[in-house]
Structure 1
Amino acid sequence: MQDIKVDEALWASSMLPEGILERWFIASGETVRAGERIAEVRIEDALHEIVAPANGRATIVATVNAVIEPGSVLATLDDSLRPG
């Protein structure tokens, strides 16, 4: 199990200490693949895609329009699932 977090580097050129979770491209409980686009966050006027770090089943913990900060947990990923 691992956390899917907002990369702190997204704030490198930002004056604001927070952003907004704009939308999810997946539903909670959905199986995702590493590198798949799963969410979008807005920091100032820029939109940033969040991708799955590994294959697994994602459980969403942050809601759309939630205020997020660097390192915020957006979802958890059960990456222990193995193809049968």
Structure 2
Amino acid sequence: MPDIKVDEALWASSIFPEGTVVRWLVSDGARVAAGHSIAEVRIEDALHEITAPINGVVTIVARENSVIDPGSLIATIAE
């Protein structure tokens, strides 16, 4: 089951060590296609879309408003 983690590179220009899951664009248990936007995260003032790496069913791990660190696991996808 592939993990969906927040890319550490999103913090490259950030002075803050954490971000926030702003909202999920899909519900827990939704079937998604690879490349489909599934969540938005905020790091400092920048909003970033997270996309599904593969086709499958999403299981959300980090709920909306959760504080995240670089490389945090936010969801998994089962093929």
Q: TM-score, normalised by structure 1?
A: 0.92
Runs (4+) of structure 1 moved beyond 2 Å? none
- Specify the code of the residue in structure 1 equivalent to 2:69: E
Counterpart of 1:11? 11
SS at match of 1:9: helix
Counterpart of 2:24? 24
Counterpart of 1:66? 66
Counterpart of 1:82? none
Identity across matched positions, percent: 65
Q: TM-score, normalised by structure 2?
A: 0.98
RMSD: 0.5
Q: Deviations over 1:22-79 (max 9, x none)?
A: 0000000000000000000000000000000000000001110000001101101002
Distance (Å, rounded) in 2 between the aligned partners of 1:52 and 1:9: 17
- Specify the code of the residue in structure 2 equivalent to 1:9: A
Q: Which runs of 5+ in 2 are unaligned?
A: none
Work out which of the two has the higher radius of gyration on C-alpha atoms and give 1 or 2.
1
Distance (Å, rounded) in 2 between the aligned partners of 1:15 and 1:49: 20
Compute the displacement of 1:20 (Å): 0.5
Distance (Å, rounded) in 1 between the aligned partners of 2:60 and 2:23: 11
SS at match of 2:10: helix
**What count of residue pairs does the alignment treat as equivalent?**
79
